[in-house]
Amino acid sequence: MTVTVSGLTIYPIKSCGGIPLQQSAIGMAGLQNDRRWMLTTPDGLFLTQRGLPAMARIGTDIRNGFLTVTYPGMPRLDVPIDVIEDDDSVRLQVTVWRDAVDAVDEGDLAAQWFSAALQTPCRLVKVHPQAHRVAGVDYVSDWLAAHPETEGFAPRHVYAFADGYPVLVANEASLVELNRRLVDRGQGAVGMDRFRANVVLSGLDAFEEDYVAMLQVGDIRFGLVKPCVRCEVPNTDQVTGQRHAEPMTTLTGFRSQRGGGVTFGENAIVDAPAHAVIAVGDAVEVTLEF
């Protein structure tokens, strides 16, 4: 079995458009600049495509020291990315699920731009450099205890605004199988963008990721600690922002309930040396468990 990295994507603003990459710096918090920013209500509650599917139409890019944001019919917005705010006077707390996370507001101009695009009052925030949001402690602890060969993984994994873990890993062959079933039902095929994965693998059999304990890419290790339970976001067309009944109807019809719901992809933690880089085409060593 030859397994390789076939895709890398970051989503700089949680629930907005992604940026496909050929390579990325990677560390405990995941791929560099992934979910570093987030939209919130004016009182600091996180916003996602679950409630605002039009967020899918917000395009992102990172270039020349700016986060560049686009939306149909709107002028481009450029947000500086290299300003580090350690000053407590600019620190605020925002809410992601049950977590209170330290953040920095990106100002009124950005808030006005996003509010106009989405037709709802909102603010753009970035994760504060001293924020300490920790990935699911119980799942990580259980995984570490079950895998004594995992010496070197930190007991606590600090990350930014992703839903629950630093990295989401998906399998190309699983999408192929899902699309085969969609087409058999007279439905259109969907792209991997529906599942918003960071690292995509080729070379595994369909849904073989269910049985993967760990991945190693050079000196970088991924612990696959929890299957990713899917909500309605995969039913959102990432180009039009329109929501449909598929692919979740089909996925629900053949995928068993794991981890509290229908799953696609695996949530992962990362152990990587300083200045580590992962690239499309990298060979992947796979540790399976049944």
pLDDT digits (tens, 9 = 90+) for 150-189: 888 999 999 999 999 999 999 999 999 999 999 999 999 9
Q: Which amino acid is it at 137? A: V
- Read off the pLDDT of residues 224-281 as tens digits, 9 standing for 90 and up: 999 999 999 999 999 999 999 999 999 999 997 766 799 999 999 999 999 999 999 9
Lowest mean pLDDT among 94-98, 161-165, 218-222, 254-258: 254-258
Q: Which of 194, 282, 290, 285 is nearest to 238 (CA)?
A: 194
Q: Residue holding tokens 């399998």?
A: 171
Cα 162 from Cα 169, distance rounded (Å): 13
Q: Which of 16, 22, 113 is nearest to 59 (CA)?
A: 16
According to the model, what pLDDT value does residue 83 have?
A: 63
User: What is the distance in angstroms between the CA of the first residue and the CA of the last residue of the chain?
Assistant: 17
pLDDT band at 88 (very low <50, low <70, confident <90, very high): low
Q: Residue holding tokens 């917000």?
A: 58
In this structure, what token pair is assigned to residue 123? 């603010």
Within 10 A of 210 (CB to CB), how many other CB atoms are there?
A: 18
Lowest mean pLDDT among 34-48, 58-72, 75-89, 190-204: 75-89
Pairing between strand 19-21 and 261-271?
unpaired
Cβ burial of 64 (10 Å; 0-12, 13-18, 19+) is exposed
Q: Residue 240 belongs to what domain range?
A: 3-288
Judge whether residue 86 has pLDDT over 70.
Answer: no
> Between the CA of residue 44 and those of 98, 127, 151, 225, 270, what are the distances in Å?
13, 13, 38, 29, 28
According to the model, what pLDDT value does residue 84 have?
A: 62
Which residues are CB-neighbours of 264 under 8 A, at least 6 positions away? 170, 174, 178, 195, 228, 230, 234, 251, 255
Phi first, then psi: what are they for 150, rounded to 5°?
Answer: -90, 25
Positive or negative torsion for Cα 254, 51, 137, 81: positive
Judge whether residue 113 has pLDDT over 70.
Answer: yes
Structural domains in the chain (count): 1
In this structure, what token pair is assigned to residue 41? 């209500």
